[in-house]
């Protein structure tokens, strides 16, 4: 079995929990995922099976869309409602001000990574520093917020829909929105509604897997945005030996034999007129 299963992750499970459950149900060890979701979050988790696990880094690069709710006036150590409350105040901000601030975040900016994350600093994960009460300078990453739509405001709870680039922490985005509003803000719920070409309507539940009611996306379907080239035996020899080839492409090129994927090549960074192996499938 090679391909991807799109899971609608329930709240309370880690992404690793979902993979472990799939290992048990499908009796397959080689399963991974793209784009980790926090335990409190729900929504799309792309689970890769067999040779498709080699595509993890490529698929993780895709843009994502979320529906998120956050509480104004509250700050926790984890930046979400599961953490310990550090600050809390009663606050009321009018809809126009919130809409204005949300619009200002449609941009590319340097976002500070949350302390409770798996990002490594000096070989140690940030959450390890947090759990041991060790101060550490938090790294920043360039992220792009493509769109933010205000869905509702109920008392001090704001709900938005947002499309973001890879590497964006919604918890950090909510924190930054709170700061721009002159207060604090903490994530209370999060649902990932799309990842790349996959929509929440494409996702199945763990029960669906148990009942064998799921769709396995093939490697070719996962790479449908990239050109495909059927190759002859001579080219197959070169590809299987990982040779750098003369070819000009935009991003990636999938080589196949008898419609079966053989290798994914990418643009060669040292020469734009050449390509090099990215992922081998045989």
Q: Copy the structure tokens of residue 222.
A: 């996962």
Give Cβ neighbours of residue 273 (< 8 Å, ≥ 6 apart): 246, 247, 248
Q: CA-CA distance, 190 to 192, in Å (whole number)?
A: 7
Q: Which of 38, 251, 259, 273 is catalytic?
A: 38
Q: CA-CA distance, 261 to 34, in Å (whole number)?
A: 20
Q: Tell me whether residue 207 is one of the annotated catalytic residues.
A: no
DSSP string over 205-251: -HHHHHTT----B-HHHHTTTS-EEE--HHHHHHHHTT--EE---SS
Closest CA to 179 of 245, 101, 231: 101
> Residues with catalytic annotation?
38
């Amino acid at each position: 079995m090679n391909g991807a299963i799109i899971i609608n992750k329930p709240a309370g499970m880690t992404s690793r929990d979902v993979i472990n459950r799939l290992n048990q149900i499908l009796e397959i060890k080689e399963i991974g995922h793209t784009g980790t979701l926090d335990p409190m979050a729900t929504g799309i988790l792309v689970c890769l099976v067999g040779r498709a696990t080699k595509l993890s880094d490529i698929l993780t690069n895709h843009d994502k869309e979320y529906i998120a709710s956050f509480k104004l006036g509250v700050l926790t150590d984890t930046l979400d409602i599961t953490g310990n409350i550090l600050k809390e105040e009663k606050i009321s901000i009018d809809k126009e001000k919130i809409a204005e601030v949300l619009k200002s975040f449609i941009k590319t900016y340097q976002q500070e990574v949350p302390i409770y994350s798996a990002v490594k600093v000096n070989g140690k994960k940030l959450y390890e520093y947090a759990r041991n009460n060790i101060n550490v300078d938090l790294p920043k990453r360039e992220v792009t917020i493509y769109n933010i739509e205000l869905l509702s405001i109920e008392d001090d709870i704001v709900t938005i829909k947002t499309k973001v680039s890879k590497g964006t922490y919604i918890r950090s985005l909510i924190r930054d929105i709170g700061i721009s509003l002159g207060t604090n803000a903490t994530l209370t719920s999060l649902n990932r509604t799309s990842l790349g070409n996959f929509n929440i309507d494409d996702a199945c539940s763990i029960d669906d897997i148990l009942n064998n009611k799921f769709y396995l996306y093939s490697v070719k379907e996962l790479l449908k945005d990239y050109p495909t080239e059927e190759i002859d035996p001579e080219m197959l020899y070169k590809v299987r030996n990982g040779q750098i080839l003369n070819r000009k492409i935009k991003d990636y090129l999938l080589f196949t034999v008898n419609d079966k994927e053989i290798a994914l090549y990418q643009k060669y960074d040292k020469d734009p007129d050449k390509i090099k192996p990215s992922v081998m499938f045989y």
